[in-house]
Amino acid sequence: MLILAADIGNTLTKLAVFDNNQMVHIGQHEQVSTEDIEVLLSRYNISKIIISTVKGHEEWQKQLSERYEVVMFDSHIKAGIINHYKTPHTLGTDRLAAVIGANNLYPGTNNVVIGGGTCITYDFIDANTNYFGGSISPGLNMRYKAVNYYTAALPLLTADDRFEANYGDDTESAIRSGVQNGIKYELEGFINNYTKNGITANVVLHGGDSIFFDTLLKNSIFAPYIKIEPYLVLKGLNAAIQKHND
């Protein structure tokens, strides 16, 4: 049985095809066209479709719904998670799918789930599948853009994974220190908060900046617990639809 999972984010749309738990296709698009969908459907004999979106419906979604029973992922799909979020209808579907994905990949353990996308998200699911909530902060590129946009003289920079200084000795390195070291200390602070009092947990990094975050944490005490899952949301969607109506 082949499953098409779609993760529509703020910046990119990711389309993946799964054969049970094996990802056999992955594509990333700034804009998905109906032609893209036709090519995908001609290549794979899709049986089920699940879509997570942080935006509204697009033309290609209508195209799929006319030919398939499309499952729109939301908080009503439990997939083995005990969701304690006070307003589950406002919980980002990408965050919930990532938590489901982490729990499915690493069951019976505590998981700190960190998403590096447009925003940085922090979520925690315990070994008994309890999910209470998390945190959202500005993402890596958003921080660099904000420093430039909200000032008169500071330049627009991009991330540099070679920067390892503890402080900057000129304007550009000072910005890099503020943004990148700031994220590093933020990551360590959130992970430490979730794992205090002797609690051990996997640190599951996902999203476009997951490799960069791994670099920031490479010398931290949490490095041995890091799991890099760039497509965790898609894997969570795949797990969710397989468990749907079980």
Q: What is the pLDDT of residues 158-177, one digit of tens each?
A: 999 999 999 999 999 999 99
Please state the rounded mean pLDDT for residues 56-70.
87
Does residue 194 register a pLDDT over 90? Answer: yes
- Residues 99-158: pLDDT tens digits? 999 999 999 999 999 999 999 999 999 999 999 999 999 999 999 999 999 999 999 999
Lowest mean pLDDT among 161-165, 206-210, 212-216, 241-245: 241-245
If residue 101 lies in a helix (H) or strand (E), which one and from where to where? helix 93-105
Inter-residue contact 204 to 100 (CB < 8 Å): no
The pTM of this model reads: 0.93
Distance CA 1, CA 127 (A): 30
Q: Which domains does the chain carry?
A: 2-72 (3.30.420.40), 82-235 (3.30.420.40)
Q: What are the residues whose beta carbons fall under 8 Å from the beta carbon of 32, sequence distance 6 or more? A: 13, 15, 58, 60
Give the pLDDT confidence of 25-42 residue by residue, as tens digits.
999 999 999 899 999 999
The helix or strand, by DSSP H or E, that contains position 233, with its residue range, turns out to be helix 232-243
**94 given a catalytic annotation:** yes
> What per-residue string of b and e applies to 87-123 under the rule 16 or more CB within 10 Å gives b?
eeeebbbbbbbbbbbbbbbbeeebbbbbbbbbbbbbb
| pLDDT value of residue 55 | 78
pLDDT of residue 59: 85
Percent of the chain with pLDDT over 70: 99
Out of 7, 36, 74, 94, pick the active-site residue.
94
